[in-house]
Amino acid sequence: MNSHPVSTLFHRRHGPITEDLVLQPGNFGLGQIPARLQPDATTTLVCGFCSTGCGLKAHLREGSAINLTPDPDYPVNLGMACPKGWEALAPLDAPDRATTPLLRDRLTGAFSPVSWETAAERFCGEFRRIRETHGPEAAAFLSTGQIVTEEMALLGALFKFGMGFVHCDSNTRQCMATSATAYKESFGFDAPPFAYSDFEQSDVLVFVGANPCIAHPIMWQRVLRNPRKPQIIVVDPRATETAMAATQHYAIRPRSDLLFLYGIAHLLFANGWIDAGFVEAHTVGADAFRSFLADYTPDRVAEGTGIPRERLLQLARTIGTGGRVSFWWTMGVNQGHESTRTAQALINLALLTGNIGKPGTGANSITGQCNAMGSRLFGNVTSLLGGHEFTHPEHRAKVASILQIDPSLIPSQASRAYDQILEDIDSGKIRALWVIATNSVHSWINHGRLRSILAKLDFLVVQDLYHSTETAQIADLILPAAGWGEKEGTFINSERRIGLVKKVRHAPGQALADFQIFRLLAHAWGCQDLFKAWSSPEAAFQILKRLSQGQPCDFSGIRDYAHLDAAGGIQWPLPEGSPSAPEPERRLFEDGRFFFPDQRARMVFEAPRPEPEPPDADYPFVLLTGRGSSAQWHTLSRTSKSACLRSLAPEHPWIEIHPEDAEHLGISPHAAVCIRSRRGATTAAAFVTNTVQRGQVFLPMHFPGVNQLTFPAFDPYSRQPSYKSCAVSVIPVTPQPGSRGVGETPRG
């Protein structure tokens, strides 16, 4: 083993390394799947796509998974899975997997395979040079909600405490930053309060800016199991699949949610549909909120939202008198220019009506990616490991003592946010960027500009499963990563359930688990002594448990991976000393105590602000974006690798446009159209449908042209991008001989 190129490098520089430091069994085709799996056994693991966190069974032949089925005993999915779960092995077999580190020649633009030794040497050489020349704020990383928590924590600790840099962010900024900020300000900690059983126990479910039929199909199955004949309310400008299945649909004007929700709160007060006892005992700010709401009269709200007065009253009555009410939101709320206050307006409705801490209630943010919740607690980005604060000296001292490192290694400031990191690259302050498990060049807002910004970097590293992603293609160095199913660790799902991911496949070629890549780079940097205790994902899990201790998310009562496996995942909190077989589905705040010193929740509110880019004569349509089908995942880097998933969704981009708008513009069904904003243009096939209202169009986010168009506005508190609305024009494209296909950027 010592003759392996990785081993020789570190043997020479930093003394001998043991096989377990860098080489996991199975990587480089050596060794086998971990001993706890029998060669022809069936084992269980949590799905690696969305935050539902379904349990899957992997069926192994000769120690390697050959197919997957949903786990009937897992408390989340009860034997169900969506197409992505069934097909989760297919992306691992793709021919464009990165199987060796690849270094790009800047002159020719060509990539050549290099050894891990050369890759690590080059990585550390560039980052060290930049640190020495330009200081600790001159390099950053952008990470993800799609690697295991142990890897996220090691990455954040390595970059900040080991390599001594300050700034990093995660793609959860695009997704969950709003929920995290809203919960922290309202509840005192980033704590989604629900369990999935709340879907089944509500009398009224209010979904705002969420389309679970497409984005969280198994959560939707849980809604369908509700025996209480619930009212299902959908607030979404589009008549989505979920809206069509709802009992009440409020097709509000895009970006008018805050006004709408204040209008509902006004009516709750006006009609006495308030749980005064709960408000008095457990909240702060209700009187001020009530005075603030005086101006949000039904007339004003009806005019601003397009929802008639009587329908506003209908909704307020349903919420105020409907029994157990649960409020659910996703990206239609989080991806807006005033998203934090909008999420808090929903939280306020739950607090005012006492709909929290009881079965079938809650102010419930549905998470997106499989481990966005892990990244919120352990990314070490805006909060210090375990939901601590970088700015609190006592938090830094606590974390330093658990990690047995010098407290001065922990920065006393939080990181710059994603958009600010990009600004710093643009202005030349940041010179090197490391991108892990995200495809920014497709997914970031207004990405036409992103390419030119990233071109300014001295050094761009991309660590991904594939060498073919838009972001990998412009990297200087590609680090080949093992994917879900090829490594071990834990994810945290939307209902705070920690679930286990197992290695059921060998990674191809020289691809390594992200965990091993981070250890390898720590060794090459020379800071490996700081991370001695992080010898394996499971050893890291023991560190995470200690970091969580004393926090609302305390899970020190989980023994080890075997405990998680046997229990079917375990929700936080589970402090030390708790029963080892806790109730399988638990919600927070049953005692009405929130995470502030006075244990009261805060009602936070603020007047709505104008939308950033309203439509006008040149760009008369509002562009909505989001998930297109349950078979498509984000930038398609994974789901496009499955023939089955490809067959379940359109191959080319499509745009939903109202029949009257289509007729007015001379657009026939399936015709190619050009969609243009002030920032760029793209083409798509017209899907003429009244799921969208007049003056609005919808593009799925899965095709790269979409973010050529989007307007870079950000919520000021969460700095989450406002992906969901900008102004565009739509015109038919007359086919030219030899013209480009639908979905590509038109010339000129």
* Closest chain position to ligand SF4 (CB): 85
How far apart are CB 638 and ligand MGD at their closest, in Å? Answer: 6
Residue 491 binds to ligand MGD (criterion: CB under 6 A): no
Q: Which is nearer to Mo ion, 91 or 368 (CB)?
A: 368
Q: Which is nearer to ligand SF4, 50 or 119 (CB)?
A: 50
Q: Which is nearer to ligand MGD, 442 or 586 (CB)?
A: 442
* 685 Cα distance to chain centroid: 28
| Contacts with 666 (C-beta within 8 Å, 6 or more apart), sequence order | 732
Instruction: Please count the CA atoms within 13 angstroms of the CA of 560 that sit on its side-chain side.
Output: 5
Give the three-state DSSP class for 22.
helix
Q: Which residue in the set 104, 131, 638, 658 belongs to the binding site for ligand MGD (CB under 6 A)?
A: 638
Q: Which two tokens stand for residue 268?
A: 């709750």
Place of tokens 């007047």: 607
**176 and 366 in contact (C-beta within 8 Å)?**
no
List the x/- string, 408-447, binding to Mo ion by CB under 5 A: ----------------------------------------
Q: Which two tokens stand for residue 720?
A: 């989450």
List the x/- string, 363-382, binding to Mo ion by CB under 5 A: -----x--------------
Q: How many residues does the chain have?
A: 748
Give the three-state DSSP class for 123.
helix
| Contacts with 673 (C-beta within 8 Å, 6 or more apart), sequence order | 655, 657, 667, 683, 684, 685, 686, 730, 731, 732, 733
Q: Which is nearer to ligand MGD, 235 or 421 (CB)?
A: 235
- The stretch among 174-182, 465-473, 541-549, 698-706 that binds Mo ion (CB under 5 A) is 174-182
Amino acid letter for position 625: T
The three-state DSSP-derived secondary structure of 476-488 is: CEEEEECCCCCCC
Q: Which residue in the set 50, 373, 624, 709 belongs to the binding site for ligand SF4 (CB under 6 A)?
A: 50
Burial class, 336, CB count within 10 angstroms (exposed 0-12 / middle 13-18 / buried 19+):
buried
Residue 447 interface partner, choices ligand SF4, Mo ion, ligand MGD, none, CB cut-off 5-8 Å depending on type: none
Q: Which residue in the set 84, 395, 586, 627 belongs to the binding site for ligand SF4 (CB under 6 A)?
A: 84
Distance between CA atoms of 335 and 11, rounded to whole angstroms? Answer: 48
Q: Which residue in the set 548, 632, 683, 729 belongs to the binding site for ligand MGD (CB under 6 A)?
A: 632
Q: Which is nearer to ligand MGD, 254 or 557 (CB)?
A: 254
**343 and 179 in contact (C-beta within 8 Å)?**
yes
Q: Which residue in the set 81, 155, 622, 697 belongs to the binding site for ligand SF4 (CB under 6 A)?
A: 81
What is the DSSP code string of 310-336? Answer: HHHHHHHHHHHHSSSEEEEE-HHHHSS
Give, as one character, the DSSP assignment of residue 359.
Answer: T
Residue 211 binds to ligand MGD (criterion: CB under 6 A): yes
Q: Which is nearer to ligand SF4, 49 or 269 (CB)?
A: 49
Other C-beta atoms closer than 10 Å to the C-beta of 297 total 15
Q: Which residue in the set 7, 24, 44, 52 belongs to the binding site for ligand SF4 (CB under 6 A)?
A: 52
Task: Please give the span between the terminal C-alpha atoms of the chain, in angstroms, as a whole number.
Answer: 56
Q: Which is nearer to ligand MGD, 165 or 418 (CB)?
A: 418
Q: Which of residues 28-47 bind ligand SF4 (CB under 6 A)?
A: 47
Residue 258 binds to ligand SF4 (criterion: CB under 6 A): no
Residue 49 binds to ligand SF4 (criterion: CB under 6 A): yes
- The stretch among 143-151, 160-168, 387-395, 557-565 that binds ligand MGD (CB under 6 A) is 143-151
Residue 213 binds to ligand SF4 (criterion: CB under 6 A): no
Residue 178 binds to ligand MGD (criterion: CB under 6 A): no
Distance between CA atoms of 269 and 267, rounded to whole angstroms? Answer: 5
Distance between CA atoms of 635 and 704, rounded to whole angstroms? Answer: 7
Residue 372 binds to ligand SF4 (criterion: CB under 6 A): no
How far apart are CB 234 and Mo ion at their closest, in Å? Answer: 19
Residue 54 binds to ligand SF4 (criterion: CB under 6 A): yes
Residue 348 interface partner, choices ligand MGD, Mo ion, ligand SF4, none, CB cut-off 5-8 Å depending on type: none
Other C-beta atoms closer than 10 Å to the C-beta of 737 total 4
CA angle 146, 152, 155 (to 5 degrees): 130
Residue 290 binds to ligand SF4 (criterion: CB under 6 A): no
Instruction: Please count the CA atoms within 13 angstroms of the CA of 524 that sit on its side-chain side.
Output: 26
Please write down the long-range contacts of 307-310, taking CB distance under 8 Å and 24 or more positions apart. Answer: 307/250, 307/251, 307/252, 307/260
Q: Which residue in the set 75, 85, 212, 298 belongs to the binding site for ligand SF4 (CB under 6 A)?
A: 85
Residue 356 binds to ligand SF4 (criterion: CB under 6 A): no
List the x/- string, 218-257, binding to ligand SF4 by CB under 6 A: x---------------------------------------
Residue 632 interface partner, choices ligand SF4, ligand MGD, Mo ion, none, CB cut-off 5-8 Å depending on type: ligand MGD
- The stretch among 159-167, 214-222, 346-354, 551-559 that binds ligand MGD (CB under 6 A) is 214-222
List the x/- string, 150-169, binding to ligand SF4 by CB under 6 A: --------------------
Q: Which residue in the set 130, 139, 175, 356 belongs to the binding site for ligand MGD (CB under 6 A)?
A: 175
Give the three-state DSSP class for 170.
strand
Residue 686 interface partner, choices Mo ion, ligand MGD, ligand SF4, none, CB cut-off 5-8 Å depending on type: none
Give the three-state DSSP class for 224.
helix
Query: 701, 705, 655: which is closest to 680 by C-alpha?
Result: 705
Residue 706 binds to ligand MGD (criterion: CB under 6 A): yes
What is the DSSP code string of 401-462? Answer: HHHTS-GGGS-SSPPPPHHHHHHHHHTTS--EEEEES--HHHHSTTHHHHHHHHTT-SEEEE
CA–CA distances in Å: residue 67 to residues 29, 355, 404, 476, 695: 20, 42, 43, 36, 46
Residue 175 binds to Mo ion (criterion: CB under 5 A): yes
Please give the residue ranges that form the binding site for ligand MGD (CB under 6 A).
50, 144, 146-147, 171, 174-175, 208-211, 214-216, 235-238, 240, 254-255, 257, 330-332, 335, 368-369, 436-440, 442-443, 463-466, 469, 481, 483-484, 514, 624-627, 630, 632-635, 637-638, 701, 706-707, 710, 723-725
Please give the residue ranges that form the binding site for Mo ion (CB under 5 A).
175, 368
Please give the residue ranges that form the binding site for ligand SF4 (CB under 6 A).
47, 49-50, 52-54, 77, 81-82, 84-85, 217-218
